[in-house]
A = this chain, B = another copy of it.
Amino acid sequence: MMKKFVNDPKQFVPEMLQGIALANPDRICYVPQYNLIMRSGAPDDAKVSIVQGSGSGHEPAHVMVVGKGMLDAACPGDVFSAPPVDYVYETIRRLKSQKGVLLLVNNYTGDRLSFDMAREMAEAEGIRCETVIIDDDVAVSGSTHTVGRRGVAGNFFVIKAVGAASECGAGLDELAALGRRVNSVTRTLGIALSSCTPPAKGAPLFDLGGDEIEVGIGIHGEPGRRRDKLVPASAIVEMILDAVVPDLPYQSGDDVALMLNGLGGTPLSELYLLYGLAHRRLAGRGIRVRRSYVGEYCTSLEMAGASLTLVKLDDQLVSLLDAPADTVLRIF
């Protein structure tokens, strides 16, 4: 039996979005017919509008990072389903700004298709658009729903950087170049300790043995590189770093941001434990952690697991990451 706080599974996403809207009356507007969460006051012709859409089930990505300094709008699809073309198209139309609309898309076939078609329709109406594809996951070079690498938690750094730069008046081409630059220095790998259960499916997405982990898990439960036996946290961190560090590569002398992202069912205590191990092992490789992010950023419902993201930093990127933001996702 599925154990979740849910009414009708078909209403899972709308009921979540209603909750977000009720909790944030001054920050956002909610347009139910398109699952659209817009920042209050958007669009603003003085800034590029930044839009992301994706399947739901990855919260806080992306509906909860709408707000000042981050996204101007998010249009999610159903759980683990790309947003329909008309959702994306309506979102772009409503977010039309004289400075243009920047579309951030994680690299999944369904999401790209929706965004490409919607962009074409919007451009035919004279709306200027640019697209940045995020593909930070080093696990596999193609997967169930993907040609090329998948976009996962590293996407947060792209949003944060272009969101901050857009508040300072950066133009569309500049933002697209910045987003691509951040993506190009960002790498992630995730490990699952459990599956997860989409409300409409009512059963686990995949089976994982009681002593098994999936190395390189996708955020929709897609297979990774391999299944391993569960090992101590130190060995898991070493395994992740051995995949992520050489991929860019991150080198001795580099400054990085280090993110330990929970996949939904893993507590903060374990994430900080992993963080500490990773921080020290990176120091041992001569890589200095200059900024740290620990918590849930891009999840897979209640999946137990974590992903580790590295971003190679320079002073511009640090100042963009440090810029203030005010979103649905907040503590106080």
A residues neighboring B (CB under 8 Å): 1, 3-7, 12-13, 15-24, 56-57, 59-60, 64, 160, 193-194, 210-211, 213, 230, 232-234, 236, 264-277, 279-280, 289, 292-296, 299, 301-302, 304, 306, 321-322, 324-325, 327, 329-332
Contacts and interface: CB of A to CB of B under 8 A. Distances in A.
Given A265-B302, A269-B16, A276 B3 contact: no
A331 B330 contact: yes
Contact of A273 (B5, B24, B194, B277): B5
**Copies per assembly:** 2
A299 B269 CA distance: 10
Contacts of A331: 293, 295, 327, 329-331
Query: Would you call the interface of chain A mostly helix, strand, loop, or mixed?
Result: mixed
Contact of A265 (B22, B265, B293, B322): B265
Given A18-B276, A60-B268, 18 more contacts: A4-B193, A4-B270, A5-B266, A7-B273, A16-B272, A16-B276, A19-B276, A20-B272, A22-B275, A23-B275, A23-B294, A59-B268, A59-B272, A160-B332, A265-B302, A267-B301, A322-B332, A325-B332
Contacts of A329: 331
Nearest to A208: B3
16 contacts: A1-B210, A1-B230, A3-B210, A5-B193, A5-B266, A6-B270, A15-B277, A22-B279, A22-B292, A23-B275, A23-B292, A23-B294, A265-B265, A295-B331, A302-B304, A331-B331
B60 A301 contact: no
Contacts of A233: 5-7, 15
